[in-house]
């Protein structure tokens, strides 16, 4: 029997050349109406699906390939005599090669189409043919990606057929393709229907590989970065544009995520410097360059080789300051033309990253992998539930500003954590200790190391104080106001300690653990 190929594609890229090459190799081409039209216009002989089925396309093309003469041709097991006898009796001729890509559902959503148009772009016949072909990969070659045409043709020219290994690889790719396609549909319709079921019993998360990384967290680990097609409207680090510099590493992406999440807390002109996923310097100032220099002065040792984030387009004066030390990445919503030119000329390897949709909140949920599954939660986007002064002394207006600043920062420091701040800049940051009082001692040590005074500063703790020891320790170093969630069984004891030291204390009613 003559070899046959079924071509039915929405993405017409490369299909004409592929069709011509198959004809030269002796294949008969079967095609649905849209693809058949393109092939005929370019001189490729085609048999339309309706000629095979003896049935016209109906319902505006909703039904065209869902027919036994198509699916029998795809699913026939060639080494099963009963199957082959059946299709011979029914006049069904097997199909050997299938090239299909699906209706552009994702693109239709992104262009802002209405619900009716979105639903019309849910492919039915395409996934059915893809899955049938992939199931019968022992005999059928299924291609869902135009980039695979040339490879398949090279094998056909060399061997007269594709190898079983190739058909298996293409079948796996096909099943991933239809699974991804359906997961995008379910995610979009969940929102469009207004159901917004956050934690369904069964969950598919669509992600698409953007690039392979040089390695993962360590050189002996492999890594890659994937993007979410259904979170395109929100802030996205994964889809950010690396405008200049070396390739981003796995750790760079993690640090950029940490820096962007923190810088997003500030409406004022701010700078955040991150090292190993924790902020080491944060400042708010009227001028961008001043914010950078203040943030840098908080811990210049840790800032070396760090990640710097801004919430304004980087200007020339700031760009000049950035070249004074070694940095890994500079992140911003944009770069002024003069500043960008200067940085690219002065720092060949410095990564300059423009964050996509910087002004918007990140979409979706937080996912954390554990052995055998996932932990899923809401993103921590709220700041506090209440602002309740619980001590005899009220914080002054200046202390209120610094408390709010410190609270924004401590939310993004690994637990257990404390942040000491004064005049809209960090003074000392104590991250990730197993004891909260140890975190405070670390923050004080950092402040002293770089000649920063804690006198008259404020302190933020991302979770409640289990004992009064941290308040007593804070008082020794001149801390005048504290912000914390509250909620400990020893809150009265902690408040009493603050009153003894004439420290103002604010409860927020909202904890910000960060593990």
Catalytic option among 20, 276, 401, 448: 276
Confidence of residue 111 (pLDDT cuts 50, 70, 90): confident
**Residue closest to 73 by CA, chosen among 151, 136, 153, 118:** 136
**Out of 51-65, 116-130, 440-454, 464-478, least confident range:** 51-65
Question: Would strands 278-284 and 458-461 be described as parallel, antiparallel, or unpaired?
Answer: unpaired
**Averaged over 242-256, what is the pLDDT?**
94
| pLDDT at 170 exceeding the cut of 90 | yes
User: Distances from the Cα of 502 to the Cαs of 288, 321, 458, 481, 494, in angstroms?
Assistant: 35, 41, 13, 9, 12
pLDDT tens for each residue of 484-515: 999 999 999 999 999 999 999 999 999 999 99
| Residue linked to tokens 């801390």 | 479
Strand bridging mode 388-389 / 504-507 = antiparallel
Each domain of the chain, given as residue ranges in start order, spans 4-192, 236-356, 388-507
Domain 4-192 classified CATH 3.40.50.1380? yes
Is residue 71 among the annotated active site residues? no
Q: For residue 478, is pLDDT > 70? A: yes
Look at residue 379 and tell me whether its pLDDT is greater than 70.
Answer: yes
Averaged pLDDT score across all residues of the chain: 93
- By the 8 A CB rule, do 343 and 324 touch? no
Other residues' Cβ atoms within 10 Å of the Cβ of residue 135: 15
Calculate mean pLDDT across residues 155-160. Answer: 93
- What was the pLDDT predicted at 232? 63
Active site residue 135: yes
Give residue 53's pLDDT band: very low, low, confident or very high (50, 70, 90).
confident
Task: For the beta carbon of residue 302, count every other beta carbon within 10 angstroms.
Answer: 19
Structure confidence by residue, pLDDT tens digits, 114-155: 999 999 989 888 999 999 999 999 999 999 999 999 999 999
Where residue 79 falls among pLDDT bands split at 50, 70, 90? confident
Tokens standing for residue 379: 């993103």
What pLDDT is stored for residue 212 in this prediction?
Answer: 95
- The predicted structure's pLDDT at residue 462: 96
pLDDT at 1: 67
Integer Cα distance of 419 and 287 in angstroms: 23
pLDDT at 213: 94
Predicted model pTM: 0.88
CA distances from 411 to 266, 302, 306, 377, 395 (A): 13, 20, 20, 16, 20
Contact predicate 432/398, CB 8 Å: no
- pLDDT score at 315: 97
Q: What's the CA gap between 482 and 489, in Å, rounded?
A: 18
65 pLDDT exceeds 90? no
Is 351 a residue whose pLDDT tops 90? yes
Burial of 418 (0-12, 13-18, 19+ CB in 10 A): buried
- Report the alpha-carbon distance of residue 300 to residue 310 in Å, rounded: 17
pLDDT of 219-241, one tens digit each? 999 999 999 888 767 888 988 99
The predicted pLDDT at position 336 comes to 97
Q: Which residues is 486 bridged to in the sheet?
A: none
Q: What is the dihedral of CA 203, 204, 210, 214, to 10 degrees?
A: 70
> Which among 124, 138, 58 is positioned nearest to 94, based on CA atoms?
138
Look at 110-124, 329-343, 413-427 and tell me which has the smallest mean pLDDT.
110-124
Residue of 259, 184, 277 lying closest to 227 (CA atoms): 184
- The per-residue pLDDT for 191 is 85
| Rounded Cα gap, residues 457 and 477, in angstroms | 9
Q: CA 338 → CA 293, 314, 342, 355, 390, distances in Å?
A: 20, 10, 6, 19, 50
Same fold, 4-192 and 388-507: no
Q: Give the mean pLDDT of 73-100.
A: 90
What is the model's pLDDT at position 50? 84
Question: Is 99's pLDDT higher than 90?
Answer: yes
**What is the percent of the chain with per-residue pLDDT over 90, rounded to a whole number?**
78
Q: Given 135, 169, 246, 448, which residue is catalytic?
A: 135
- Residue 417: CA atoms inside 13 Å, Cβ hemisphere, count? 24
Rounded CA-CA distance 506/460 in Å is 10
Mean pLDDT, rounded, for 13-23 = 95
Q: Say yes or no: domain 236-356 is CATH 3.30.460.80.
A: no
> 388-507 has which CATH code?
3.40.140.20
């Amino acid at each position: 029997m003559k070899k046959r190929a079924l071509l039915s594609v929405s993405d017409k890229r490369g299909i004409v050349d592929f069709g011509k090459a198959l004809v030269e190799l002796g294949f008969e081409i079967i095609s649905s109406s849209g693809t058949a039209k393109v092939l005929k216009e370019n001189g490729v002989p085609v048999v339309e699906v309706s000629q095979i089925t003896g049935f016209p396309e109906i319902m505006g093309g909703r039904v065209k390939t869902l027919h036994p003469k198509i699916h029998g041709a795809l699913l026939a097991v060639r080494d099963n005599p009963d199957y082959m006898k059946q299709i011979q009796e029914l006049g069904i001729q097997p199909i050997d090669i299938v090239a299909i890509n699906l209706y552009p559902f994702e693109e239709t959503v992104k262009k802002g189409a209405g619900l009716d148009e979105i639903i019309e772009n849910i492919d039915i016949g395409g996934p059915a043919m893809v899955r049938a072909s992939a199931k019968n990969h022992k005999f059928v070659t299924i291609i869902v990606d135009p980039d695979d045409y040339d490879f398949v043709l090279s094998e056909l020219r060399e061997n007269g057929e594709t190898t079983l290994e190739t058909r298996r690889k293409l079948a796996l790719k096909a099943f991933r393709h239809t699974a991804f396609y359906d997961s995008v549909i379910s995610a979009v319709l969940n929102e469009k229907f207004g159901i917004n079921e956050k934690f369904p019993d069964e969950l598919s998360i669509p992600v698409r590989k953007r690039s392979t990384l040089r390695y993962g967290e360590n050189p002996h680990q492999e890594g890659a970065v994937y993007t979410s097609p259904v979170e395109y409207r929100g802030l996205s680090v994964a889809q950010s544009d690396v405008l200049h510099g070396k390739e981003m590493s796995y750790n760079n992406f993690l640090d950029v995520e940490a820096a962007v999440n923190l810088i997003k807390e500030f409406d004022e002109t701010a700078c955040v410097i991150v090292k190993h996923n924790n902020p080491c310097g944060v400042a708010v100032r009227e001028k961008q360059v001043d914010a950078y220099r203040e943030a840098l002065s908080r811990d210049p040792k840790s800032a070396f080789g760090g990640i710097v984030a801004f919430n304004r387009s980087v200007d020339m004066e700031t760009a000049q300051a950035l070249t004074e030390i070694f940095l890994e990445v500079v992140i911003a919503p944009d770069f002024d033309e003069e500043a960008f030119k200067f940085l690219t000329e002065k720092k060949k390897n410095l990564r300059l990253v423009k964050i996509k949709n910087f002004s918007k909140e990140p979409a979706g949920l937080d996912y954390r992998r554990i052995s055998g599954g996932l932990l899923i939660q809401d993103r921590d986007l709220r700041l506090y539930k209440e602002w309740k002064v619980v001590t005899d002394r009220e914080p002054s207006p200046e202390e209120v500003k610094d408390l709010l600043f410190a609270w924004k920062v401590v939310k993004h420091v690994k637990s257990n954590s404390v942040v000491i701040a004064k005049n809209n800049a960090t003074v000392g940051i104590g991250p990730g200790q197993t004891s909260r009082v140890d975190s405070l001692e670390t923050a004080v040590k950092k402040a002293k190391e770089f000649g920063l005074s804690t006198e008259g500063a404020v302190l933020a703790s991302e979770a409640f104080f289990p004992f009064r020891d941290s308040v007593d320790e804070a008082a020794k170093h001149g801390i005048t106001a504290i912000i914390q969630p509250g909620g400990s069984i020893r809150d009265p004891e902690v408040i009493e300690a603050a009153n003894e030291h004439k420290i103002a204390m604010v409860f927020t009613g909202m904890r910000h653990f960060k593990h």
